[in-house]
Structure formats: structure tokens, C-alpha cells
Chains A and B, each alone.
Chain A
Amino acid sequence: MINSKKGKRTGFLLILPLLVLFLGLTIYPLIYMVYMSFHQYSLASWEEPKFIGWKNYQEILRDHTASSSVNFTLFLLFTAVPIEVLLGIGIAFLIRDVWGEKVLRSALIIPMTIPPVVAGIAWKMLYNYEFGPINYFLSLFGLPKASWLGSQSFARLGVLLIDVWQWTPFIFLVIYAGLQSIPRDVVEASLVDGASGWSAMRHIELPLLRPLIWVILIIRVIDVLKLFDIVYMVTFGGPGSATHSYSFYIYKVGISFGWDVGYASALSIILLLVVTILTNLLIRFLHLSETLGL
């Protein structure tokens, strides 16, 4: 019955709602966006979209704010992501087999469960120049107060720190779960053979975790490309354009300041291309045929 023709037809009927949803809410809008990206189209004026070819795309190359937002996004990719991965792996090894690890694990993943908007509020208070606890801690070490959201480099560091705080727990959780799935006897056998705990970790456990590390690495890279909420809440892209993430810049161009939907669409298409390439890479690492039995 399952593999019968009737089964296939029923199956198709069952995925139909999902198919309609995707077609209506993603495929159609995406096609529309490609169309707009070749047009001069602003919601601030009453003019109809006017075809201008590749002009929107050429504009990106000349746009200094766009390149500075790419800059900031790259900065986060090369700082936040490696820090999170290393720290997450370190913490997973540190916590396991410790007394009370279950409670500790649940406590440590709280940051990733907090909605980014709320996390933004918490950190906005922590970063406060006059009364913020972080500047107080600095003063305990005899350091001067830092203008966390007022200076370019501190604001960038500030966003980086929040990202590390919020997403290291995710990597920790994944690695921790991965470690649990490694059969105990594999590790114990090597310990009996005289390997130290350290070398068992380096030569047995870490290599076994490698596929998993690739998966979360790519997921985190894509997430950084999507970064928006924290920037909006904590720095609003400032000071100047120092902390414009790429997504935040698209929002500014297309919605909040410019209403320049044509240009924002072109910027979005570039982002989509990059994310699509990364997602394909991710799919390759996921070994779907095994995990899903397809």
C-alpha cells in the first residue's frame, strides 16, 4: 500500500498545503524580488517601477555604506564564529562528568533561548556608560569607563560579545549531545591502552565530532549573515555606520529610511545567493539520506 500508486497520490495530497504555503509565501515573493531588483522602484514616490537593467547591482559596488556593512559582517564572521566554536567545544569538555552537569547544562543554554530582542535590552543596560555593571567591573580593575555604544570599535566589540554570549551555548549544547552519542567503550578502550584523557580527546573524540562541527559552523555562518535584532536593539547600526550588519543595511535602505525597494532587492538577492551556496554546502554535510532514511 505504501509504495502503491495510490500511496503516492495520497502522499502528494498530504504535502499539498505545505507546497501551496511555500509557493505563495516564498517562491512568488522571491520572483517578485528578482523583478524589482532590475527596476527603479521606491515606495516613497508614486511612480511605477521603471526598468533600469543592472544599475541597482552596479550601485552596490560604489556604495560605501554597503561595503562598510559587508566589512562589519566579515569582522563578525572571522571573530564571533571561531570564538564561539572553540569556546563551545571547550565548555562541553569542561562540563561533562562534573557533579550536577544536567542542571549546569540547562542553565548555560538559557542565553540561546532568550528572544534576541530581550537579550538586546539586557545588554543595553549592562553597557550603559554611567551606571552599567560592565563599566563598574572595569573600574574594579582600575580601568577607565568605556563608551560601549558611543565609539566605533567598542560598539563593534559590544555586538561581538553579545553574539558570543548568545550563541556559544548553542555550540556547547550540540557538541555536548554529540559527545554523549560516542560509545563509552571506544574511549575507555583507549584509556586502558594507556592513552591519557587528553590524547583520547584529541585523537578519538574530536575526530568523531568533526562532521558535527562542520554542520554547526555553517549554520552559525548563515546566522551571522542574518544578524538583525541585536543590532537594531542595542546600537541601531551606530555610531555612524560602524555596526550596520548586512541585513540591517537592507532594512534601512528598503524600509526604515529609504523605501528604495529596487535597490534593497538587489542587495537581498546578493545575500540570498551567498546563503544558498552555504545551505547547499550544509545539505552535503548533513548526510540526509542516512538521517532521514530517504
Chain B
Amino acid sequence: MKWLTKTVKIVLIAIVAFFFLFPVYWLVTTAFKKSEDWFTWPPSFFPQHWTLGNFSGLEGGFFGSVTTSISTITPYLINSIIIALLVALISTIIAALAAYAISRFKVGGMRFVSWIISIRMLPPIAAALPLYVIFSHLHLIDTWWALILSHLIFTTPFSTWILITFFNEIPQELDEAAFVDGANIGQTFWHITLPLSAPGLASVSTLAFIQSWGEFLMALVLTTSENAQTLPIYLGRFITGWRIAWGPLAAAGLITMLPVVVFSLLMQRYLLRGLTFGAVKG
């Protein structure tokens, strides 16, 4: 009886793992497939020959009249890196200050915290629409700042939230002791709280980075050219045409998802805290 439940369990786990991991496997292997393996029946599950040509643009070349090479990816990659880095930096600074105020001085109380949650849950399309009109008047459309500002709407509440829980875990007695020794609030924050919360700051900036890196709707609405368009938009563009060159598309997809997946897995605990508003300690 016992071996039966065990076997059933193993079979179920295998099915679950297959369902959730096969799409990932397919994307990753396709990124390294030679062009003759892109379209085959039966599909090529275990490609015999591997190539880096999809990344370098050697594989496939021209497809009809459209080039399938991803060599044009560079400006988008640069935009993505700069925008995500600035978003990470700015949102961490703003969030750290606010979280410290909320955690230590209880500024704003419940009302302010609820407000932060509401903004975090705001549907992106509802923000994108008025921002498009406002940014057009300010001539910000198709600039890095359009994306940086719009991404901050979603990353700062998320970061603030995680940092509040983080600061709460640092004993207040340490602050008190510093005050007694004559330190002011700025010195206490700088010399006591910040060093102790370095891991928290590192994780919120990483999480802000990956949120900005993968964001699609704002980038779609607020940018129009390679001056400011990011990797997700580059991927979206690829999907046009009568038949899609799978190899390069998967390669570009892999470049886009790799940093996000790696960092998310490393930051699981904090990701979970941020996503559930502290309902799970993780």
C-alpha cells in the first residue's frame, strides 16, 4: 500500500514538473537550434546540432525579405540596462527614506500604507493612458525618463513595502541607544539602520531592476523608437510577419528572461514578501 501511494506521488510530481518546465525547455533549446530544426515534424525535441548562430545572427540570415538576425538588439539592450539601473537606484532611495519614516516614526499610519498598496495594485493601462497625454505635452514621449518615471509608480510601493518589514526587524533599541549617545536621526539612519539593512536594500534594488527590465505595457505606450524602446518591445516587434524565425526570437527571449529568472530565484524570500504584502514572511 505504501509503495502504491509513493508511486502515485512520483507520477503526479513528474506530470506537474513536465507541465511547468516544458515551455521553458522548449524556449531554451530553440534558442540554440539550427535553422533546419526550427520547423520540423515531428518537432525536434532533442536537437542533434547546437549553434550560437541565433545570437550572433549567422543562423537563418534572411527570411523572405525580413532579416531575422538579432544583431539590431544592441540599442534596445542598452536602453533596458540604463532604464532598469536608474529605476533600481531611484526607487531604492525614495523607498528607503519613506520606509524608515513609516517604520520608525509611524508617519501617515495605516492610511498611507493602504495608499501604497492601492498604487501597487493600480492597473498599468489606467496609468499609461493619462501619462501618455501628459508626457506628450511635456515632450517626454520616447525618452528614457518616460519609462523611468512610469516604472517608478510600480517599483517604489513594492520596495517601500519590503523595506518597512525589513526595518521593523531591526531592533529599535539600537536606534534608541544611538540617540542616547547623542546621534541625530540622520546619523542613526546612516550609521546604524542602513548598514544593518544592506541585504534588504540589495534585494529591493534587484527586484526593482527586474520589474523594470520585464515591463511591457508602459514601454509599448510611451516609447516609439529605438531611442528609448526596451527589450520586451524588441521581442514584440519580432512577432510580425507571416512566419516567425523561431531561433533568433527564442535567443532574444532568452537574453531578456535570463537576468530576471536568475535574480528572482535568488531573491525568492523578498519577492514573496513583496508580492503578498507581508502576508507571508517567507
Contact = CB atoms under 8 A, between A and B. Distances in A.
Interface stretch (A55-63, A78-86, A105-113): A105-113
A98 B30 contact: no
5 contacts: A2-B105, A2-B175, A115-B257, A124-B244, A126-B26
Nearest to A278: B121
A116 B253 contact: no
Contacts of B98: 14-15, 17-18
A229 B126 CA distance: 14
Contacts of A216: 276, 279
A9 to B, nearest CB: 9
Contacts of A222: 121
A229 B277 CA distance: 23
A75 to B, nearest CB: 18
A254 interface: yes
Contacts of B12: 94
Interface stretch (A22-30, A185-193, A200-208): A22-30
A10 to B, nearest CB: 5
Interface of A is mostly: helix
B236 A232 contact: yes
A6 B156 CA distance: 26
Interface string A114-153: 1111110111111000111100100000000000000000
B1 to A, nearest CB: 13
B257 A286 contact: no
A67 interface: no
Interface in A1-60: 1-3, 6-8, 10-12, 14-15, 17-18, 21-22, 25-26, 28-30, 32-33, 36, 43
Contact of B23 (A33, A119, A225, A272): A119
B199 interface: no
A178 interface: yes
B256 A117 contact: yes
B36 to A, nearest CB: 12
Interface string B105-138: 1111110111101110111111111111110100
B104 interface: yes
A278 B123 CA distance: 12
Contact of B214 (A18, A91, A116): A116
In the A-B complex, the 4 residue pairs with the smallest Cβ-Cβ separation, listed nearest first, are A115-B214, A11-B105, A113-B264, A29-B130
Interface of A: 1-3, 6-8, 10-12, 14-15, 17-18, 21-22, 25-26, 28-30, 32-33, 36, 43, 91, 94-95, 98, 104, 106-119, 121-126, 130-133, 136, 165, 168-170, 173-174, 177-178, 181, 211-212, 215-216, 219, 222, 225-226, 228-229, 232-233, 247, 250-251, 254-255, 261, 264-265, 268, 271-272, 275-276, 278-280, 282-283, 285-286, 288-289, 291-294
B9 interface: yes
B117 A279 contact: yes
Nearest to B278: A291
A105 to B, nearest CB: 8
Most central of B108, B220, B280 by chain A CB within 10 Å: B280
A115 B123 contact: no
Interface in B237-254: 238-239, 244, 246, 249-250, 253-254
Nearest to A34: B130
B99 to A, nearest CB: 9
B81 interface: no
B278 A286 contact: yes
B57 to A, nearest CB: 18
Interface stretch (B48-56, B62-70, B146-154): B146-154
A268 B13 contact: no
Interface string B1-45: 000000001001100110111111011001000000011111101
Contact of B131 (A25, A104, A170, A229): A25
A32 B133 contact: yes
Interface of B: 9, 12-13, 16-17, 19-24, 26-27, 30, 38-43, 45, 93-95, 97-98, 100-102, 104-110, 112-115, 117-119, 121-134, 136, 149-150, 152-153, 156, 160, 164-165, 168, 172, 175-176, 179, 185, 213-214, 216-217, 220-221, 232, 235-236, 238-239, 244, 246, 249-250, 253-254, 256-257, 260-261, 264-265, 268, 272, 275-282
Nearest to B131: A29
B13 A94 contact: yes
Contact of A255 (B22, B112, B129, B156): B129
Contacts of B119: 22, 26
Contacts of A125: 26-27, 30, 246, 249-250
Given A14-B101, A265-B130, 8 more contacts: A10-B101, A14-B107, A115-B256, A118-B254, A136-B43, A228-B125, A228-B217, A291-B278
A117 B236 contact: yes
Most central of A30, A268, A291 by chain B CB within 10 Å: A291
B107 to A, nearest CB: 4
B208 to A, nearest CB: 13
